[in-house]
Structure 1
Amino acid sequence: MNDQEQDLYSLGSSSSSHDKLADKVDIKAYAQPFINFITENPTVFHAVSAVGKRLESQGFKKLSERGSWTKKL
């Protein structure tokens, strides 16, 4: 978890906490990757495909829901 994410989790819900958060985090820059993802993947099918490709590019293997995973895990 990076510093900005930690700030989001550690701050309470009071208005002074929100002010502290706004001082530490550029909200637009923080949200931009999510906005880009939603723009590029307008449906759940696109989103699942994009996440699957990202996982496979990081070395994860796709397993069939219908197959046996016993020897693959």
Structure 2
Amino acid sequence: MLNVLGAKTDFIVDTVNAGAGTLAVNIDGPSKVSMDCTEVEEGYKVRYTPLAPGDYYVSIKYNNNHIVGSPFKVHSKGMV
């Protein structure tokens, strides 16, 4: 996955069929990210903005268990 430095990026975590539980999203990388999470019909919409170029790791847990594929590696490149 690739995104552009300073650009808002969002993704949906589909929890419709997951049952009751707690969602935890953590993004680690070369800098802090601006991040917010809002509830939507499909589950939760997470929006973040990388502030430095490099590789970020998006960890998504539901009820303290990683979802399939988590953590996800996302590369952020500088503006073109």
- Give the TM-score of the pair, scaled to structure 2: 0.17
Higher Rg of the two aligned structures: 1
Q: Relative to total residues, which structure has the larger helix share, 1 or 2?
A: 1
Normalising by structure 1, report the TM-score.
0.17
Higher relative CO (Cα under 8 Å, sequence separation at least 6) belongs to 2
Greater share of strand: 2
